[in-house]
Amino acid sequence: MDLGIKGKRALVCAASKGLGRGCAMALAEAGVDLVINARGAEALEATATELRGFGVNVLAVAGDITSEEGRAAVLAAAGAVDILVTNAGGPPPGIWSDWERADFIKALDANMLTPIALMKALLPGMIANGWGRVVNITSQSVKSPIPQLGLSNAARAGLTGYVGGTARQVAPFGVVINNLLPGIHATDRAVSLDAGVVNARGITMAEAQAERSATIPARRYGTAEEFGATCAFMCSQYAGYMIGQNILLDGGAMNATM
């Protein structure tokens, strides 16, 4: 399927590995030129090299997207873009009584205020062009809270509220904003979450993964490829009537009719 976005230019944040990388791969396959970011330069360059294999232009900008300096460097290098995929690492797990104000501020900065700052910087150019796409990678925790990820539940809920209103304010200008909500996917993040279970319960990684898979109707973890393909569709010309939605990819884990 031709997604109709060949030759567009995208910024994909936190894209050297995992879900961000999956999104960058799918966009490259659709013919989109890319600016990609992550903190570690080595993995980022390796991903950039792979992406260039699709015949698209790729600029890799190393830096912490959740810091003001990192964000400024990425935005300066990126210039105007047609497509923005926001992403960053998720907050650490814990229990409600662990988290102090400083922990919340850090989570809000990374998973709410960073995507908002990126949208504020890039939406004016999209509006001026009369075309734009934004996909925010959030989490299933927006629809179904994950108790040990209270910082994530809180920050991503805040972003979701902002997007709900903003998506409707920019839609008249041909700019489409939606959120993509991963349930468990086979990435480093999942390994680190499962490692917590392994340590707490003294079981093996394989046992922890099998236990988790058994709770998912699809009986497996999602893949970055599946996730990326959905993201690319949400960035396509066919997504123009999808406004302010929260698209859940969780293998059916959340038991809800809607």
Q: Which residue has the tokens 């236990």?
A: 211
Please identify, using beta-carbon distances, which residue of 150 and 182 lies nearer to ligand NAP.
182
Half-sphere exposure of 106 (CA within 13 A, CB side): 11
62 Cβ neighbours under 8 A, 6+ residues apart:
37, 38, 39, 40, 41, 44
Q: How many other CB atoms are there within 10 angstroms of residue 257's CB atom?
A: 3
Distance of CA 41 to the CA centre of its chain: 19
CB of 59 to ligand NAP, least distance (A): 15
Q: Which is nearer to ligand NAP, 33 or 64 (CB)?
A: 64
20 or 150: whose CB is closer to ligand NAP?
20
CB of 186 to ligand NAP, least distance (A): 7
Nearer to ligand NAP, 5 or 88 (CB): 88
What are 79's strand-pairing partners? Answer: none
Nearer to ligand NAP among residue 22 and residue 132 (C-beta) = 22
Query: Can you count the helices (H) and strands (E) in the chain?
Result: 9, 7
Closer of 2 and 188 to ligand NAP (Cβ)? 188
The CB-side HSE value for 188 (13 A sphere, CA atoms) comes to: 11
CB of 33 to ligand NAP, least distance (A): 19
Q: Smallest gap, in angstroms, from Cβ of residue 151 to ligand NAP?
A: 10
Q: Which residues bind ligand NAP (CB under 6 A)?
A: 14-20, 37-40, 43, 64-66, 87-90, 137, 139-140, 182, 184-185, 187-190
Minimum distance from CB of 184 to ligand NAP (Å)?
A: 4
Q: Which two tokens stand for residue 229?
A: 């393909």
Least Cβ distance, residue 41 to ligand NAP (angstroms): 8
DSSP string, 201-257: HT--HHHHHHHHHHTSTT-S-B-HHHHHHHHHHHTSGGGTT--S-EEEESTT-S---
